[in-house]
Chains A and B, each alone.
Chain A
Amino acid sequence: MLKISHRDKKAVGYPGTRWSSVNAPYLFIAPSFVLLAVFFVIPVVAAFLMSFTDFDIYSLAHFRFARFVGLGNYMNLFSDPLFWKSMFNTFYFLILGGPLTIFVALLAAVLLNSKLVKFRSLLRLGFFAPVVATLVAVSVVWKYIYDPRFGLLNYALSFLGVAPRDWLSDPVWAMPAIILFAVWKNFGYTMMIFLAGLQTIPEVLYDAAGIDGAGSWQRFWRITVPMLAPTTLFVTVVTLIGYLQLFAEPYIMTGGGPMNSTLSIVLLMYRQGFRYWQMGYAASLAFVLAIVIFILTMIEMRVQKEGSAV
């Protein structure tokens, strides 16, 4: 809260009584605080309390059917192989998909920013289209691309002599297939942010480097990358948070299978909460995920800040 002493107010000619001058600010921020409380604080507190009970469908009928279980949900969670499996899958997706998305996005952005490329706005539209396309619609298309018998991917690979495989039904290949789909779907958004970042780099820097004899690779590495550091930090954090909450892609494409190889944490949470109505268990999952996201984001910011300080 900004502190304004009584004398200051007099100095700027504040009219009115003591009461209103002290309380008016609270009145102004009250609506947003009320909204925040009703739609954020209360539900979060309720969910937190719920994570210590076995609240389920029986409890929906009679509240007395809910039991206080202490840390029971959390203990069960950590001994549940499905939880660890989904944790593994989510990180698999993040570690492979995250850098890939950022890399492809940067590549596309640099390409689109270059004056040598023609039809830039058309290309930009093409790269960004998957972001705004409905996920359900494009995943139907991708299901056909991955089809073992009529699929485009197998057809293309057949020219390289690669044997056809059933991408989405194979426990080993389902996650890579999901990652490829997610990268295609999401890189356009990251690319747009990179483009905006690229346009803020003054042209004179490149000109100066050019006069000094720097090649295009050096200019990219010594000027573009460091100048983009703040953008990269933002993009990395957003991608990290977004990808840890992987849900819609496996939900539509594979339903978490085969053999739970594409089951993500949020998908597991959805199953427990809205298919099985194990609300207490689902709430504990949600809090574990929130903590994981918080810690990782903290580490991420720390690392990147140190990196850019050097």
Chain B
Amino acid sequence: MSLMVMLVFVVFGCSRRNEGLTKITFWAMGSEGEHLGSLIKEFERENPGIYVDLQVVPWGSAHDKLLTAFAGNATPDMCQLGNTWISELHAMDALEPLDSFIAKSNVVKEANYFSGIWQTNVVGKKVYGIPWYVETRALFYRKDLLSVVGMHQPPKNWDELLKAAKLLTSYSTKLNGRPCYGIYLPVNPGLEWDEIFFAWQNDGNILKDDDCYSNVLSQNDREAFDYYVKFFKLGYSPMEANATTNLYQAFASGYVGMFISGPWNINELRNRVGYLNGKWSVAPLPVNKNRDANAGGSSFVIFRGSKEKEADWKLIEFLSLPENQLQFYRGTFDLPAVKSAWSEGSRHSSGQDSTLLGNPLISAFYTQLESSRPFPRIPEWEQVTDKMGQWIETVVWGKNTLDQALIGMDKDINRVLEKRRWLKSTGKMAD
């Protein structure tokens, strides 16, 4: 009985809402989707002709869902997309280029965004996504321990990072009476990409020739990987695959003194080990030839199959307004993609700066975002990073020398890219 009533309600509710309304379906992921409700309501109030059907998709199944939706011709009108997925969906020809919308927009302009982040949305010469929120990697460090060993500033370059790791390792080990480490780096960096950042920072590139061949045998790459492995060989980083299960505890207990991670850990640390507040801080990554890290985050995309592209774009523009970006940040702590939102907000009469830039923990990420860059925009990228991580791991465990591993890595990456080279050579791929 109650089921019937509900059914009637649903049918009735739908039919009434659809009357003369433009309906757009919007897939958003995880907590982002959950915090979007109030902004969507505001949008519908401002645009009485549009009804947004917001569907929250869990992050874990989002990737599969999108690809099956595409295969079954059931894509939504628009979607939030992790910006490393754009190349995959573009390879399937699922996304609408947005250049013509941007050209006539007063809100969305390339200059409003971090350039590295913007680039993640460009494939070939066309723009397929508008950045929504952003993330990159920075250095979390124990301020208190570092100053005890005589370093009052966070490490500024590669030598200082190595030195800080060394000093923290010996200081904490002595202090706690058991092995402790200066920095946590993953033994297999396949999912965290630290070795790739080091390669970029050494002016290296992972791929070459239009991302068709591996470049890991180059001198610059080799030096960077050598630097990465050194932290393990010298005993400054633990040989633990799953330190991350207890990373916050490990950081709080002094087991590791530094780690490289993303902005979400600011809140994780505050919530999980609140007693440590004030003893740690965040700095942009140390500079070698540059300080580049990945340009991450999520973008808005419009699917080719959407019939309401003008309405989709209106929603994108609405969510890209600085004040709405900031409101979204307050709900999710996802950093805004629009740069002006970072200095938006009130300055208290007490002189306290409540803008994002006024918070030193968060502003470190602003500096880092200014030198962020996209991963190669090819659908094989995940395979490439997995292979790299696995080969690096064998060097860390001493199973291969670095040079042996690099030869294997080079061969594996080139094999992964075979299909891409074939598509290029036959001219079947547009870009």
Contact = CB atoms under 8 A, between A and B. Distances in A.
Nearest to B393: A259
B240 A148 contact: yes
Interface size on A, as a range, is 20 to 34
A274 interface: yes
Nearest to A60: B92
Interface stretch (B222-230, B241-249, B326-334): B241-249
Interface in A265-302: 271, 274-277
A170 B240 CA distance: 8
B240 A169 contact: yes
B255 interface: yes
Chain A residues touching B, majority SS: loop
Contact of A58 (B240, B393, B423): B423
Contacts of B246: 147, 149-150
A143 B67 contact: no
Contacts of B428: 62, 64-65
B282 to A, nearest CB: 25
B379 A258 contact: no
A65 B242 contact: no
Contact of A276 (B71, B240, B383, B393): B383
B292 to A, nearest CB: 26
Interface string B226-269: 00000000000001111001100000000100000000000000
B188 A57 contact: no
Contacts of B419: 54, 56, 58
A192 B149 CA distance: 60
Nearest to B394: A259
B399 interface: yes
B64 interface: yes
A171 interface: yes
B67 A60 contact: yes
Interface in A226-284: 254, 257-260, 271, 274-277
Nearest to A174: B241
B92 A169 contact: no
B255 A149 contact: yes
A60 B67 CA distance: 9
Interface in B80-97: 88, 91-94
Point out which of A56, A147, A259, A275 has the most chain B C-beta atoms below 10 A from its C-beta.
A259
Query: Looking at B91, B93, B255, B428, which has the most chain A CB atoms within 10 Å of its CB?
Result: B91
B382 A258 contact: no
A257 B255 contact: no
Given A60-B71, A64-B428, A258-B393, A169 B187 contact: yes
Contacts of A122: none
B70 interface: yes
A179 interface: no
Interface in B189-223: none
Contacts of A150: 246
Interface residues of B, number: 32
A147 B383 CA distance: 29
A166 interface: yes
A58 B382 contact: no
B89 to A, nearest CB: 9
B93 A276 contact: no
| Most B-side CB within 10 Å, residue of A54, A62, A258, A260 | A258
A61 B419 CA distance: 14
A271 B241 CA distance: 19
Contact of B397 (A60, A254, A259): A259
Interface in B352-380: 379-380
Nearest to A272: B383
B241 A168 contact: yes
Contacts of B70: 60
Contacts of B390: 259-260
A62 B187 CA distance: 38
A166 B240 contact: yes
Contacts of B393: 257-259
Contacts of A274: 64
Contact of A168 (B67, B91, B242, B383): B242
A131 B419 CA distance: 43
Interface in A145-202: 147-150, 166, 168-169, 171
Interface in B386-415: 386, 390, 393-394, 397, 399
Contacts of A148: 240
B240 A257 contact: no
Interface string B61-73: 0001001001100
Interface in A53-90: 54, 56-58, 60-62, 64-65, 67
B72 to A, nearest CB: 11
Given A150-B246, A169-B240, A57 B394 contact: no
B382 A171 contact: no
A54 B382 CA distance: 18
A147 B250 CA distance: 12
Contact of B93 (A56, A61, A171, A277): A61
Contact of B92 (A57, A257, A260): A57
B63 to A, nearest CB: 8
B91 A61 contact: yes
A263 to B, nearest CB: 10
Contacts of A257: 188, 241, 393
Contact of B379 (A168, A260, A277): A277
B415 to A, nearest CB: 9
Nearest to B428: A65
Contacts of B240: 148, 166, 169
Contact of A258 (B64, B245, B380, B397): B397
6 contacts: A58-B419, A67-B422, A144-B245, A150-B246, A254-B242, A257-B241
Closest 10 CB pairs of A and B: A61-B92, A169-B241, A61-B93, A169-B240, A258-B241, A276-B383, A57-B379, A60-B92, A259-B393, A257-B241
Interface of B: 64, 67, 70-71, 88, 91-94, 187-188, 239-242, 245-246, 255, 379-380, 382-383, 386, 390, 393-394, 397, 399, 419, 422-423, 428
Given A169-B241, A259-B393, A271-B386, 20 more contacts: A56-B419, A57-B88, A57-B91, A58-B419, A60-B67, A65-B428, A67-B422, A147-B245, A148-B240, A149-B246, A149-B255, A166-B239, A168-B241, A171-B397, A257-B393, A258-B241, A258-B397, A259-B188, A259-B394, A276-B383
